[in-house]
Chain A
Amino acid sequence: MRPKILNIEEAWVLYKKLGRLYSINPKDPPAMMVRSLILSLNQSAFEDSLDILNKDWRKEKDPVKVIGIFTDGLKENQLWAFHQFESWIAKHGTAR
Protein backbone atom coordinates (compact mmCIF):
# COMPACT_ATOMS: atom_id res chain seq x y z
CA MET A 1 0.00 0.00 0.00
CA ARG A 2 1.49 3.37 -1.05
CA PRO A 3 1.15 5.96 1.70
CA LYS A 4 -1.33 8.71 0.92
CA ILE A 5 0.09 12.20 0.53
CA LEU A 6 -1.98 14.47 2.74
CA ASN A 7 -3.37 17.83 1.77
CA ILE A 8 -3.30 20.74 4.21
CA GLU A 9 -6.72 19.89 5.69
CA GLU A 10 -5.84 16.25 6.40
CA ALA A 11 -2.33 17.08 7.57
CA TRP A 12 -3.63 19.71 10.04
CA VAL A 13 -6.20 17.30 11.54
CA LEU A 14 -3.60 14.56 11.92
CA TYR A 15 -0.96 16.94 13.23
CA LYS A 16 -3.34 18.29 15.85
CA LYS A 17 -4.13 14.72 16.86
CA LEU A 18 -0.44 13.94 17.28
CA GLY A 19 0.99 17.45 17.73
CA ARG A 20 1.29 17.42 21.49
CA LEU A 21 3.43 14.32 21.20
CA TYR A 22 5.52 15.82 18.40
CA SER A 23 6.31 18.82 20.52
CA ILE A 24 7.81 16.68 23.29
CA ASN A 25 11.09 16.49 21.42
CA PRO A 26 11.09 17.87 17.89
CA LYS A 27 14.78 17.03 17.54
CA ASP A 28 14.09 13.30 17.72
CA PRO A 29 14.91 11.51 14.51
CA PRO A 30 11.66 10.66 12.68
CA ALA A 31 11.91 6.89 13.19
CA MET A 32 12.36 7.33 16.94
CA MET A 33 9.50 9.78 17.00
CA VAL A 34 7.18 7.39 15.21
CA ARG A 35 8.10 4.69 17.72
CA SER A 36 7.36 6.94 20.68
CA LEU A 37 4.13 8.06 19.01
CA ILE A 38 2.92 4.50 18.60
CA LEU A 39 3.76 3.76 22.23
CA SER A 40 1.93 6.86 23.48
CA LEU A 41 -1.22 6.65 21.35
CA ASN A 42 -4.37 5.05 22.60
CA GLN A 43 -6.22 2.69 20.28
CA SER A 44 -8.92 5.09 19.11
CA ALA A 45 -6.42 7.89 18.38
CA PHE A 46 -4.30 5.35 16.51
CA GLU A 47 -7.30 4.19 14.44
CA ASP A 48 -8.36 7.80 13.73
CA SER A 49 -4.83 8.58 12.52
CA LEU A 50 -4.81 5.50 10.30
CA ASP A 51 -8.18 6.53 8.82
CA ILE A 52 -6.58 9.80 7.71
CA LEU A 53 -3.42 8.15 6.40
CA ASN A 54 -5.08 5.27 4.55
CA LYS A 55 -8.77 4.37 4.58
CA ASP A 56 -7.96 0.81 3.47
CA TRP A 57 -5.90 -0.07 6.53
CA ARG A 58 -8.75 -2.21 7.95
CA LYS A 59 -8.37 -4.63 5.05
CA GLU A 60 -4.90 -5.43 6.33
CA LYS A 61 -4.98 -8.37 8.73
CA ASP A 62 -1.32 -8.38 9.78
CA PRO A 63 -0.84 -5.95 12.74
CA VAL A 64 2.83 -5.43 11.81
CA LYS A 65 1.77 -4.23 8.37
CA VAL A 66 -0.84 -1.92 9.96
CA ILE A 67 1.93 -0.31 12.00
CA GLY A 68 3.91 -0.10 8.76
CA ILE A 69 1.07 1.87 7.14
CA PHE A 70 1.17 4.30 10.07
CA THR A 71 4.94 4.74 10.14
CA ASP A 72 5.26 4.97 6.34
CA GLY A 73 2.42 7.50 6.22
CA LEU A 74 4.06 9.74 8.81
CA LYS A 75 7.50 9.42 7.24
CA GLU A 76 6.26 10.05 3.69
CA ASN A 77 4.26 13.08 4.82
CA GLN A 78 7.12 14.50 6.93
CA LEU A 79 4.56 15.56 9.46
CA TRP A 80 7.24 16.63 11.95
CA ALA A 81 7.95 19.55 9.61
CA PHE A 82 4.56 20.93 10.66
CA HIS A 83 6.04 21.47 14.10
CA GLN A 84 8.74 23.67 12.54
CA PHE A 85 6.07 25.71 10.78
CA GLU A 86 4.11 26.12 14.00
CA SER A 87 7.26 27.17 15.88
CA TRP A 88 8.10 29.66 13.12
CA ILE A 89 4.63 31.19 13.41
CA ALA A 90 5.01 31.41 17.20
CA LYS A 91 8.37 33.17 16.81
CA HIS A 92 7.83 35.46 13.82
CA GLY A 93 4.21 35.47 12.94
CA THR A 94 2.52 37.50 15.64
CA ALA A 95 -0.17 39.46 13.80
CA ARG A 96 0.26 43.20 13.92
Chain B
Amino acid sequence: MLELTLRLYKLTSRPQFKQWIELEEKKGQVIRAVEEGSPDFPSLLASFLSTALHVPAHLFKLVPWWGSIRAFNEVLIKNNPRIPLPLIVEYDNSPTKEDGWDYKGRLWHLHSHLLAKNYGWKLEYISKLDVEEALAKIQEILTDIQLEREFIWSTSEVAYPYDSQSKSGKFVPLSRPYWMNPKAQLPKKIKILKKLMPVGSVDYGAVGEYAPKDIKH
Protein backbone atom coordinates (compact mmCIF):
# COMPACT_ATOMS: atom_id res chain seq x y z
CA MET B 1 0.00 0.00 0.00
CA LEU B 2 2.76 2.47 1.03
CA GLU B 3 4.89 1.29 -1.89
CA LEU B 4 2.05 2.07 -4.30
CA THR B 5 1.40 5.45 -2.66
CA LEU B 6 5.09 6.33 -3.00
CA ARG B 7 5.13 5.34 -6.68
CA LEU B 8 2.06 7.50 -7.34
CA TYR B 9 3.65 10.34 -5.36
CA LYS B 10 6.72 10.23 -7.59
CA LEU B 11 4.48 10.66 -10.64
CA THR B 12 2.56 13.64 -9.25
CA SER B 13 3.80 17.19 -9.65
CA ARG B 14 5.82 18.82 -6.87
CA PRO B 15 3.85 20.62 -4.13
CA GLN B 16 2.78 24.20 -4.58
CA PHE B 17 4.13 26.93 -2.33
CA LYS B 18 1.60 26.74 0.51
CA GLN B 19 1.82 22.97 0.83
CA TRP B 20 5.61 23.14 0.60
CA ILE B 21 5.70 25.65 3.46
CA GLU B 22 3.44 23.40 5.53
CA LEU B 23 5.74 20.44 4.84
CA GLU B 24 8.84 22.48 5.69
CA GLU B 25 7.34 23.40 9.03
CA LYS B 26 6.48 19.78 9.76
CA LYS B 27 9.93 18.66 8.56
CA GLY B 28 11.48 21.05 11.09
CA GLN B 29 9.36 19.51 13.86
CA VAL B 30 10.39 15.97 12.83
CA ILE B 31 14.07 16.92 12.80
CA ARG B 32 13.87 18.64 16.17
CA ALA B 33 12.06 15.59 17.61
CA VAL B 34 14.87 13.29 16.40
CA GLU B 35 17.56 15.62 17.73
CA GLU B 36 15.85 15.85 21.11
CA GLY B 37 14.89 12.14 21.18
CA SER B 38 11.28 13.21 21.73
CA PRO B 39 8.55 10.55 22.10
CA ASP B 40 6.48 12.66 19.66
CA PHE B 41 8.76 11.72 16.74
CA PRO B 42 6.56 8.88 15.33
CA SER B 43 3.36 10.98 15.39
CA LEU B 44 5.14 14.01 13.86
CA LEU B 45 6.62 11.82 11.14
CA ALA B 46 3.18 10.29 10.43
CA SER B 47 1.68 13.79 10.26
CA PHE B 48 4.40 14.92 7.80
CA LEU B 49 3.89 11.87 5.58
CA SER B 50 0.12 12.14 5.79
CA THR B 51 0.27 15.75 4.52
CA ALA B 52 2.75 14.90 1.77
CA LEU B 53 1.21 11.67 0.50
CA HIS B 54 -2.46 12.44 1.25
CA VAL B 55 -2.96 9.22 3.21
CA PRO B 56 -4.32 8.81 6.77
CA ALA B 57 -1.64 9.07 9.49
CA HIS B 58 -2.69 5.76 11.09
CA LEU B 59 -1.53 3.92 7.94
CA PHE B 60 2.04 4.25 9.20
CA LYS B 61 1.23 2.00 12.17
CA LEU B 62 0.72 -0.80 9.66
CA VAL B 63 4.03 -0.53 7.80
CA PRO B 64 7.55 -1.49 8.94
CA TRP B 65 9.51 1.39 10.43
CA TRP B 66 12.01 1.49 7.56
CA GLY B 67 9.07 2.01 5.15
CA SER B 68 8.13 5.22 6.98
CA ILE B 69 11.74 6.43 7.06
CA ARG B 70 12.14 5.65 3.36
CA ALA B 71 8.94 7.56 2.55
CA PHE B 72 10.26 10.54 4.57
CA ASN B 73 13.49 10.44 2.58
CA GLU B 74 11.68 10.21 -0.78
CA VAL B 75 9.48 13.20 0.07
CA LEU B 76 12.50 15.26 1.18
CA ILE B 77 14.33 14.49 -2.08
CA LYS B 78 11.34 15.38 -4.22
CA ASN B 79 10.55 18.62 -2.38
CA ASN B 80 14.09 19.92 -2.21
CA PRO B 81 14.30 23.19 -4.22
CA ARG B 82 16.40 22.79 -7.36
CA ILE B 83 17.99 26.25 -7.42
CA PRO B 84 21.02 27.04 -5.23
CA LEU B 85 19.54 30.05 -3.45
CA PRO B 86 21.87 31.25 -0.67
CA LEU B 87 18.77 31.77 1.50
CA ILE B 88 18.20 28.02 1.64
CA VAL B 89 21.63 26.63 0.75
CA GLU B 90 23.82 28.51 3.23
CA TYR B 91 24.07 26.98 6.66
CA ASP B 92 23.01 29.05 9.65
CA ASN B 93 25.15 27.89 12.56
CA SER B 94 23.79 30.46 15.00
CA PRO B 95 21.53 28.93 17.65
CA THR B 96 17.88 29.22 16.64
CA LYS B 97 15.87 31.26 19.09
CA GLU B 98 12.12 31.49 19.14
CA ASP B 99 10.62 34.97 18.98
CA GLY B 100 7.92 35.89 21.46
CA TRP B 101 5.51 36.42 18.56
CA ASP B 102 6.13 33.00 16.96
CA TYR B 103 3.30 30.48 16.71
CA LYS B 104 2.57 27.19 14.95
CA GLY B 105 1.85 27.76 11.26
CA ARG B 106 3.45 31.23 11.16
CA LEU B 107 5.83 30.36 8.33
CA TRP B 108 3.07 30.55 5.71
CA HIS B 109 1.74 33.86 7.05
CA LEU B 110 5.24 35.34 7.16
CA HIS B 111 6.09 34.39 3.57
CA SER B 112 2.69 35.20 2.08
CA HIS B 113 2.75 38.58 3.88
CA LEU B 114 6.14 39.42 2.36
CA LEU B 115 5.00 38.50 -1.17
CA ALA B 116 1.57 40.15 -0.90
CA LYS B 117 3.04 43.36 0.53
CA ASN B 118 5.69 43.68 -2.17
CA TYR B 119 3.92 42.43 -5.28
CA GLY B 120 0.25 42.95 -4.37
CA TRP B 121 -0.54 39.29 -5.17
CA LYS B 122 -3.61 37.60 -3.73
CA LEU B 123 -3.18 34.83 -1.15
CA GLU B 124 -4.75 32.28 -3.46
CA TYR B 125 -2.22 33.13 -6.17
CA ILE B 126 0.70 33.01 -3.71
CA SER B 127 -0.40 29.62 -2.35
CA LYS B 128 -0.18 28.14 -5.87
CA LEU B 129 3.20 29.63 -6.77
CA ASP B 130 6.07 27.46 -7.90
CA VAL B 131 8.37 26.90 -4.90
CA GLU B 132 11.58 28.10 -6.59
CA GLU B 133 9.84 31.17 -8.00
CA ALA B 134 8.45 32.14 -4.60
CA LEU B 135 11.72 31.54 -2.74
CA ALA B 136 13.75 33.56 -5.27
CA LYS B 137 11.32 36.48 -4.92
CA ILE B 138 11.48 36.25 -1.11
CA GLN B 139 15.28 36.38 -1.23
CA GLU B 140 15.11 39.51 -3.40
CA ILE B 141 12.64 41.14 -0.99
CA LEU B 142 14.86 40.33 1.99
CA THR B 143 17.93 41.64 0.11
CA ASP B 144 16.14 44.93 -0.62
CA ILE B 145 15.12 45.26 3.03
CA GLN B 146 18.67 44.58 4.23
CA LEU B 147 20.31 47.02 1.76
CA GLU B 148 17.83 49.73 2.74
CA ARG B 149 18.59 49.09 6.41
CA GLU B 150 22.32 49.32 5.66
CA PHE B 151 21.83 52.68 3.93
CA ILE B 152 19.82 54.06 6.86
CA TRP B 153 22.43 52.66 9.27
CA SER B 154 25.27 54.36 7.32
CA THR B 155 23.55 57.75 7.73
CA SER B 156 23.16 57.25 11.47
CA GLU B 157 25.56 58.47 14.15
CA VAL B 158 25.64 55.07 15.88
CA ALA B 159 27.38 53.60 12.80
CA TYR B 160 30.46 55.75 13.57
CA PRO B 161 31.57 55.01 17.14
CA TYR B 162 34.43 57.21 18.40
CA ASP B 163 37.87 55.66 17.97
CA SER B 164 40.19 57.05 20.64
CA GLN B 165 43.37 56.16 18.67
CA SER B 166 42.49 58.02 15.48
CA LYS B 167 40.40 60.54 17.46
CA SER B 168 37.58 60.27 14.95
CA GLY B 169 34.48 58.21 14.25
CA LYS B 170 35.16 54.87 12.54
CA PHE B 171 32.46 53.30 10.35
CA VAL B 172 31.13 49.96 11.59
CA PRO B 173 28.91 48.26 8.97
CA LEU B 174 25.58 46.74 9.92
CA SER B 175 25.88 42.98 10.32
CA ARG B 176 24.35 40.91 7.53
CA PRO B 177 22.24 37.75 7.76
CA TYR B 178 24.13 34.47 7.30
CA TRP B 179 23.01 33.99 3.69
CA MET B 180 24.37 37.40 2.61
CA ASN B 181 27.85 36.84 3.95
CA PRO B 182 30.60 36.33 1.32
CA LYS B 183 31.15 32.73 0.31
CA ALA B 184 34.23 31.00 1.66
CA GLN B 185 36.93 30.87 -1.04
CA LEU B 186 39.47 28.15 -1.63
CA PRO B 187 42.97 29.22 -0.61
CA LYS B 188 44.92 30.80 -3.50
CA LYS B 189 47.42 28.53 -5.25
CA ILE B 190 51.00 29.67 -4.72
CA LYS B 191 53.75 28.47 -7.03
CA ILE B 192 56.95 27.52 -5.21
CA LEU B 193 60.37 27.91 -6.80
CA LYS B 194 62.20 24.62 -7.22
CA LYS B 195 65.26 26.02 -5.43
CA LEU B 196 63.13 26.65 -2.36
CA MET B 197 61.93 23.03 -2.19
CA PRO B 198 63.52 20.74 0.45
CA VAL B 199 66.83 19.18 -0.57
CA GLY B 200 66.93 15.45 -1.21
CA SER B 201 65.15 12.92 -3.38
CA VAL B 202 61.41 12.55 -3.03
CA ASP B 203 59.62 9.28 -3.68
CA TYR B 204 56.66 10.76 -5.60
CA GLY B 205 55.05 7.33 -5.90
CA ALA B 206 54.61 7.29 -2.15
CA VAL B 207 53.42 10.93 -1.96
CA GLY B 208 50.44 10.32 -4.23
CA GLU B 209 47.76 13.01 -4.29
CA TYR B 210 49.83 15.35 -2.09
CA ALA B 211 52.60 15.66 -4.68
CA PRO B 212 53.30 19.32 -5.55
CA LYS B 213 52.03 19.77 -9.11
CA ASP B 214 52.68 23.48 -9.70
CA ILE B 215 56.41 23.82 -9.36
CA LYS B 216 57.90 26.81 -11.20
CA HIS B 217 61.23 25.91 -12.79
Q: A42 in the interface, Cβ–Cβ < 8 Å?
A: no
In the assembled complex, the Cα of A10 lies from the Cα of B43 at a distance in Å of 12
Greatest chain A CB density within 10 A among B42, B66, B68 is at: B66
A24 at the interface (CB under 8 A from B): no
Q: How many residues of B contact A (CB 8 A)?
A: 26
Binding site for A on B (CB under 8 A): 27-28, 31-32, 34-35, 37, 39, 41-43, 45-46, 60-66, 68-69, 88, 91-92, 96
Pair A96/B88 contact, Cβ less than 8 Å: yes
- The majority secondary structure among interface residues of chain A is helix
Q: Provide 10 A-B residue pairs closer than 8 Å at the C-beta atoms, listed in order of the A residue.
A: A7-B42, A7-B60, A8-B65, A8-B68, A10-B65, A16-B39, A78-B66, A89-B31, A89-B34, A93-B34
Given contacts A16-B37, A89-B34, A94-B91, contact A9 B69 (CB under 8 A): no
Which chain A residue has the least Cβ–Cβ distance from B29? A95
Q: A85, B69: Cβ atoms under 8 Å?
A: yes
> Which residues in B have their C-beta under 8 angstroms from that of A85?
34, 69
Least CB separation from B49: chain A residue: A8
Q: Which residue of B lies closest to A11 (CB)?
A: B65
Q: For the complex, what is the distance from the CA of A1 to the CA of B28, rounded to whole Å?
A: 39
Output the least CB separation between A80 and chain B (Å). Answer: 12
Instruction: Decide: B34 and A7 in contact? CB cutoff 8 A.
Output: no
Find out whether the CB atom of B35 lies under 8 angstroms from the CB atom of A90: yes
Complex interface: chain B residues within 8 A of A96 (CB): 28, 88, 92
Chain A residues near B60 (CB, 8 Å)? 7-8
Closest to B31 in A: A93
Chain B nearest CB from A74 CB (Å) reads 13
Render A48-77 as a binary contact track against B, CB cut-off 8 A, 1 for contact.
000000000000000000000000000001
Q: Are A6 and B92 in contact, CB atoms less than 8 angstroms apart? A: no
In angstroms, Cα B58 to Cα A9, docked, is 11
Q: Which of A5, A6, A10, A95 has the most CB of B within 10 A?
A: A95
- Considering the complex, give the chain A residue whose CB is closest to the CB of B92: A96
Which residues of chain A come closer than 8 Å to B41, judged between CB atoms?
12
Is A28 part of the binding interface, using a Cβ–Cβ cutoff of 8 Å?
Answer: no
- In angstroms, Cα B39 to Cα A10, docked, is 11
Known: A89-B34, A89-B35. A7 touches B28 (CB 8 A): no
